[in-house]
Structure 1
Amino acid sequence: MASSRSGFAALLRAWRDRLSPADAGFTTTGGRRAPGLRREELAQLAGLSVDYVLRLEQGRARNPSAQVVGSLARALQVSRAERDQLYRSAGLLPPQDGTVSTHVPPGVQRLAARLGDLPIGVFTADWSLVWWNTMWSALHGDPAVLPAAERNLARALFGDGPAHASMRPVRSERGQDAFAESIVADLKDALSRYPGDARLDRLVRELRDVSDAFARLWSTRTAATQHATDRKTIRHPEIGDILLDCDVLVVPGADLRMVTYTAASGSSDAGKLELLRVTGGRTATALP
């Protein structure tokens, strides 16, 4: 067990040292002692405390959960083979084939990091949020404050837990019914492709139990359009209503969706996005 913990700790330190801050979305400045990520930057990316990351790197924190290891693997932008190595070094089985993948390829993360002026979130096939940037947090609220299982769009729409309670008001130009139907259609498609995924099956069963609307949509045989392009008005608690184009970009070969929000240059909504970028959505003053 001790050698396993030391192996896990060594991998964390080595892979943190090799990851460029720019590739992770951080602005590089002078005065860095090492070319890699700082410990607090890794903690921020993985949604963990700096103290916990320190204890993991020193081998003092035992038995990290599969969710923690998955978050660290995504934050470190490792390959699938390296991800599996990290799981095994933590004494865990790597994610199995035939289940919804939460792995975000390094290239996708680098691309998203270079679009840091836009709100971007990366979702799995079951609409679980597995990567987001600071602009996403500024627009929607920080997903890191939610338990990992609650970072799911279907739970936000239909659930009765923290995800639903924290979701900021969103109005879809296609209509809320069409938006809800598209998310259910996506979950149906995911379950047909991953019938052995216990987590996905549990999500569907839970939502059918707590939401009459979800149960009704799930039981309908009418085909629905899957969620793609839309225009949405998001009510921000500081800035007010922001009308944005929402585009869902499918990542080939990874079964991921990259969700982006943009506004036309020179528009008042583009100005509101810029205010979000500058202030992080905190102590902002609403634009006229």
Structure 2
Amino acid sequence: MASPRSDFGALVRAWRDRLAPADAGFAVTDGRRAPGLRREELAQLAGLSVDYVLRLEQGRAKNPSAQVVGALARALQLSRTERDQLFRSAGLLPPRDGMISAHVPAGIQRLAARLGDVPIGVFSADWTLVWWNTMWSAVFGDAAVVPPAERNLARALFGNGLAHAAMLPVQSERGPDVFEASIVADLKDAVSRYPGDAQLDRLVQELRGVSDAFAQHWATQTTAARHTTDRKTIRHPEIGDIQLDCDVLIVPGADLRMVTYTAATGSSDAGKLDLLRVAGVHTAIALPERETARGSWGAPGM
């Protein structure tokens, strides 16, 4: 009888073979032999090392964390039922109902992958970045270099850790105060809808303790408009300022926000996006505490 760990590896391998590369945003070439994703492609999508994915598939890596299993489930574009099966095969309880979900439906991932010319990031209800495409990395840097718990926009705006250090300078046309207030308003709304989510509660309590600005926005009785659209100026260290239209699209039924950045056809900013697309230029950022990595991660602005 197969052990749960071997079941886990077999599931990952089977679902990797099932996923069409084009649906995950990868070009299909004539010399490609694998029917589905290559191991290195899955590792890239999940933000893991190729060696770790290999050891997971072979059953040599034991006790993957919930974050790792969740990242693999998103990368493999699993349904909720399949995601829960993967969690159980890893000896973990699946995410409970009534908690903020980081699950990105396969259809949303396929849609985003087909819009490869547009920088796209998908955020959960607490503004944690859970999925991004290649152009997002080209504009903001690879979010995989930042620990998963730090890929949170509120932490980037108001915290004092790696998330804050990794953010590029971005200016909002509406001004920093209006933008910050809108993000806090989104978190207030999330707290009202997910009162039992301990991770969300910890995030709010943490930011109230380290940021006077967050505490003031949280305490205000004025209801701020939720963040939906804006015009941003991104200061890219390689190609200079890029002015882009930022739109936040709500995914019905999934409580996700798909953030897109676009420029008018023929504009100089569109030309800069084309340059990033062709050259694959990434930002370079120095993280504190001797953690240095090539790449940053993007956010809807500040």
TM-score bracket relative to the smaller structure: over 0.9
Aligned partner letter, 1:113: A
The one-letter amino acid paired with 1:195 is P
Number of residue pairs the alignment of both structures matches = 283
Taking the TM superposition and a 5 Å limit, the aligned residue runs for 1:205-220 are: 205-220=205-220
Pairwise CA distance, 1:281: 1.7
Taking the aligned partners of 2:96 and 2:282, their CA distance within structure 1 comes to: 40
Between 1 and 2, higher relative CO (CA 8 Å, sep ≥ 6) is seen in: 2
C-alpha distance after superposition, 1:132-164 (max 9, x if no partner): 011111111211000100001111101100110
| Equivalence for 2:59 | 59
**Is residue 182 from structure 1 mapped to residue 207 from structure 2 by the alignment?**
no
Q: In 1, Cα distance between the equivalents of 2:200 and 2:65?
A: 19
Counterpart residue number, 1:251: 251
Residue 44 (structure 2) aligns with: 44
Deviations 1:91-118 (A, max 9, x none): 0000000100110000000000000111
Q: Could you say which residue in structure 2 is the equivalent of 1:166?
A: 166
3-state SS of 1:230 partner? strand
In 2, the alpha carbon distance for the partners of 1:260 and 1:111 equals 12
- Describe the SS at the equivalent of 1:234: strand
The aligned counterpart of 1:118 is 118
Identity of aligned residues (%): 81
Aligned twin of 1:286: none
Secondary structure class of the residue paired with 1:225: coil
Give the aligned partner of residue 290 of structure 2: none
Deviates more, 1:24-33 or 1:70-79: 24-33
- Where does residue 74 of structure 2 map in the other structure? 74
**Contact 2:140 2:282 (8 Å CA) reproduced:** no
Q: Distance in 1 between matches of 2:2 and 2:210?
A: 44
Structure 1 counterpart of 2:5: 5
Which one is further off, 139-148 or 57-66? Answer: 139-148
Moved more, 2-11 or 82-91: 2-11
C-alpha displacement of 1:282? 4.3
SS at structure 1 position matched to 2:24: coil
Alignment match, 1:34: 34
Paired amino acid for 1:161:
G
Give the TM-score of the pair, scaled to structure 2: 0.92
Per-residue CA deviations over 1:6-41 (Å, capped at 9, x if unaligned) read 100000000000000000000010122221000000
Q: Does 2:133 correspond to 1:133?
A: yes
Residue matched to 1:192: 192
Distance 1:50 1:80 in 2: 25
CA distance in 1, matches of 2:2, 2:107: 34
Write the letter of the residue equivalent to 2:201. Answer: D
User: Structure 1 residue 280: deviation in Å?
Assistant: 1.5
TM-align CA RMSD: 1.1
User: CA separation in 1, counterparts of 2:66 and 2:126?
Assistant: 18
Once residues 242 and 12 of structure 2 are traced to their aligned partners in structure 1, the CA distance between those partners, rounded to angstroms, is 40
One-letter amino acid of the counterpart of residue 272, structure 1:
K
| Equivalent residues of 2:5, 2:90 under 8 A apart | yes
C-alpha distance after superposition, 1:39-65 (max 9, x if no partner): 000000000000000000000000000
- Which residue in 1 is equivalent to 2:100? 100
Amino acid at match of 1:33: R
Task: Tell me which moved more, 137-146 or 110-119.
Answer: 137-146
Matched, 1:14 2:18: no
Deviation, structure 1 residue 2: 6.7
Q: Which residue pairs with 2:292 in the alignment?
A: none
- Determine helix, strand or coil for the equivalent of 1:23: helix
Counterpart CA distance in 1 for 2:280 and 2:209 is 37
Preserved CA contact (<8 Å) 2:139 2:282: no
SS at match of 1:222: coil
CA distance in 2 between counterparts of 1:79 and 1:99 reads: 17
Alignment of 1:144-163 (within 5 A): 144-163=144-163
Q: Tell me the CA shift for residue 120 of structure 1.
A: 0.1
